[in-house]
Amino acid sequence: MASIIATIDEALVNAAAAAVGELKGTLHKEERKKVPVPGICYRKVGSINVPYPCIVEKEILIWSITVNWSVKNLRFDIEEGSVRIKADCHFDATGVSYTATVDAVVAVALQETTLVLTPQSFKLPLYGKPLGVRIDLGSIDILEILPPSILALKIPLGMLKEPIAIPLPGGHSLTVTPSNVRLALKKDCIIVSADLNP
């Protein structure tokens, strides 16, 4: 049986990812705590406010940190049976500077005649070392800062549904129609194929 095959090379997908460029941001976190401290309170005696010593709560700053982060070299890695998205992330904060590669699973699906790559949970862990003590600062969800074109990278494959006319001698033509569309993830490429029925 005849078939039509579209091979989407990893380099093509990564050209779209490279167009995102470098993403940057700043995150500030701090911890404040209420502690009891000696203070002055007032009691009304008649019409006069009389001061007296007492314990009051005061909010103090325990630690404060500002993290500058950047995300660059966004890329897709296509392997046999799976696709992942990767990025090189750099973090600078008080007492700590580090670079890490983070990655996430990418869902690959066919929606009608469009191949859609959708990154799943893509978190950048953050930590700092104010006062020399490591503190986890949570994470940045990179999906919230990526452009929509990468959040759902769409590659149109209209030839997988459109009838194809094959010219024949005498001015005639044979029309074949694609059917039974299939998707396969191979090393460095995504293969989409369909049978051709006369």
pLDDT tens digit sequence for 80-136: 999 999 999 888 877 678 888 889 999 999 988 889 999 998 887 777 666 677 777
Check residue 131 and give its pLDDT. 66
Q: Is the pLDDT of residue 69 over 90?
A: no
Of 67 and 33, more confident: 33
d(CA 3, CA 195): 4
Check residue 94 and give its pLDDT. 72
Per-residue b or e along 79-103, where b marks 16 or more CB atoms closer than 10 Å to that residue's CB: eeeebbbbbebebebeebeeeeebe
- The per-residue DSSP string of 20-70 comes to T--EEEEEEEEEEEEEEEEEEEEEEETTEEEEEEEEEEEEEEEEEEEEEEE
DSSP letter, residue 17: H
d(CA 161, CA 6): 12
What is the overall mean pLDDT for the chain?
87
Enumerate residues 6+ apart whose C-beta is below 8 A from 37: 55, 56, 57, 58
pLDDT in tens, 37-53: 898 999 988 889 999 99
- Average of pLDDT values for 55-77? 87
Enumerate residues 6+ apart whose C-beta is below 8 A from 69: 24, 25, 26, 27, 89, 90, 91, 92, 124, 126, 140
Of 132 and 196, more confident: 196
Check residue 130 and give its pLDDT. 64
d(CA 95, CA 87): 23
Helices (H), 36-190: 148-151
pLDDT in tens, 147-192: 888 889 999 888 777 888 888 888 888 888 888 888 999 999 999 9
Check residue 1 and give its pLDDT. 66
